[in-house]
Structure formats: C-alpha cells, structure tokens
Amino acid sequence: MAEIVEENTLRNLFQSQKEFVDHFFQNIDITACNNVTNHIINCKGWVLISGVGKSGSIANVFSDFLVSMGIRSRFLSPVNPLHGDIGIVCQDDVFIFISKSGETEELKQILPFIKNRKAFTISLICNKSSTLARASDLGMELPLVKELCPFGMAPVTSSILQMIFATTISLACMKKTQLSRENYAKNHPGGAIGRRLCLEAKDVMTSDFPRCSGSTLLQDTFGAMSLCGAVVLVDDSMKLLGLFTDGDLRRALKNKPSSNNNNNNENEIQMSSSPISSYDDLMKTPIVSLIKKAPITASPKDMARDILQLMQSKKIHQMVVVDENEIVVGIILERELVKLGL
C-alpha cells in the first residue's frame, strides 16, 4: 500500500515552491525581458520556438500564445530541422531556444545551422554560462534556485518559470503592439473568448419570433407564447407596441377576480373601456392592456455579452431587438445566451 502524504509535507512543498518562484520574480532581468519582447514584436519573419521534453511542451504553448496575439509563430521540433525543416528559417526570423540547462544536445546540434541562416537567436535558460546562452545572440536567464524535486532532476520548478516567462512576454507583446479587443477577438472566432468579444445582438437573435397585433385577445396568445415564453406586439409596419411575457400572464391570472366579485373589487384589472369582472372577460381582454411597462430593447449592434448582463440584472428572459427605424427585427432569449457560454 502506498504511503499517505502528510499535510505538513504538502505544506512544506508548497512553501518551498513559493520561495523558489519568489526568487525568480526578485531576480529576473527586466531589461533583458524587454529586449526579448522587442525582438519578437519587431520580427519581420517568423518567431520560431524549439525545446525538448517539458521545455518543448512550453515552447509549443509559447508559440500558440504569440499566434493568438497576432504574431506569426510556430513550434519547430529540434529533430526536424536537420531533416529538411530548417528550410523554413531565414534571416528575418527570430529563433527561440528553451532549455533549463542550456546544454540540451538536440538544440546545440541545430544552433550552428540556425545561425548560418542568419536568424536572430534567443536562448531562455537557467544557466547563463551554458553553451546555448553563450552562443546565442541573446541569452535570457530565468533565475532558478533549485528544483523542488528532491533529486534535483524533475523540472518541477524550472518548467513553472518557463511558463511564467512565456505567458508574461506574450502579454507584453500584446500591450506593445496595442492589440485591440476587436482584433484579439478575430483571432479567437470559435471559442468562448471570441463569442464574448465578437457576437452582437444580430448574431444571437431569432428573426422567427411569435408576434401579434395590439388587439389580439389573451385567449389567442397561449400557443404563440409556448415557443419562447413571450409574444411581441407590433403594428402593421412592424413597430413595437409591447412585449407580453409569461410574467404578465401570471400576474393577470393571479389578479383574476372571482365570479361573485362586483365591479368595485379592489383587485379588478382596469381596461380602457370597462373593468374585467370574470375569467371569461379576462380571456377576451386585449393583451396590450395587460402589459405593465414598456419592454427593454436592444439594437442589432449591441454586444451579446452586455445584453446578457443586462437581462440578468433586470431579471428578464426575453429582449426585443429594434433597428434604427424602430422596426422589430428579432428577439433574444436569455437561455440561448447562457448556452453560448457568454
């Protein structure tokens, strides 16, 4: 049976890891970081990144982050350049090596060939006197006290430092290039980020919505309301008259007078012509007279994420979309926005 790790052991491990990471933050060379960032954003070609093992995984992530910021980048396996892939490298490129020791054989083997193609080389290493650091155009040290691993072998601390550096430099590139939210969203059209930043009301509304005139009777709305819990009231030119929701229906039924009530009952629902005195009268009431307030509307260009926030704050489940001519063009359902993960 495996031994159970004691809480004190875990607490000590986390504390040690925190101290090692704190050392990194306290000793990182910000000037060198700025140089790395400038070479990346000023690169006229590709930012090519390579590494082996855990460093290789982080190199891949680093490249993905840069691509999401609109920077041309790709991960290049340290093995493939010696078998044809080095043909992609040119003098306009920046080639980044990621290695804890700076003595990774696969990277040292390809370094001379990369330099022969006149690409600018950067090494991200934890040993500034290593071969890669000395041979690269720019050696960036990631300050490491020691690995948390008791054998000093598993890169459980150095890999964290590499990831911190890669993600932070990616954000520095975003700030230096002044990447707008709109352009960032264009790089993420299919995910939750893109949906939050790109989708407008016109993209999430449905144009096939239940509608009726202001004279429609309550008894004639139940079928239409079952589709989305509301029916939109419009005139002949499709201008908005109101929105009759299931909430309006519940209030009307709750306040329905009993059959023996007289016309002076305080719960009577007042119509434009005469009070409602029975259930049958209620069913024959035009729904426009049962609407308590004007509906909140959206324009086709309003951001979907803002609409969802408004709907949730106002506790409404439907919102009518009206264009610049005050014509109803669609309806938005809160449940559909939630499904989109906004």
What's residue 1's pLDDT? 46
| pLDDT tens, position by position, 224-264 | 787 788 999 999 899 998 899 888 888 888 776 544 444 44
pLDDT at 274 over 50: no
Residues forming CATH 3.10.580.10 domain(s) in the chain: 201-339
DSSP structure class, residue 112: H
**Helices 30-41 and 158-176 meet at what angle, rounded to 10?**
60
Residues forming CATH 3.40.50.10490 domain(s) in the chain: 14-179
| pLDDT tens, position by position, 66-112 | 998 889 999 999 888 767 678 889 999 999 999 999 999 999 999 99
221 vs 93 pLDDT, higher one: 93
Give the mean model confidence (pLDDT) for residues 111-125.
Answer: 95
pLDDT at 314 over 80: yes
Say if residues 34 and 165 touch (Cβ distance below 8 Å): no
Query: DSSP string spanning 113-182?
Result: HHHHTT-EEEEEES-TTSHHHHHSSEEEE------SSTTS-S-TTHHHHHHHHHHHHHHHHHHHTT--HH
Q: What SS3 state is found at 62? A: helix
Angle at the Cα of 112 (from 139 to 161), degrees rounded to 5?
30
User: Which residues, at least 6 apart from 252, have a Cβ–Cβ distance to it below 8 Å?
Assistant: 218, 269, 282, 285, 290
Cα dihedral across residues 91, 96, 99, 102: positive or negative: positive
Chosen CATH of 201-339 out of 3.30.70.100, 3.10.580.10, 3.30.565.10, 3.30.980.10 = 3.10.580.10
Proportion of the chain above pLDDT 70, given as a percent: 86
Topology at the third CATH level for domain 14-179:
Rossmann fold (3.40.50)
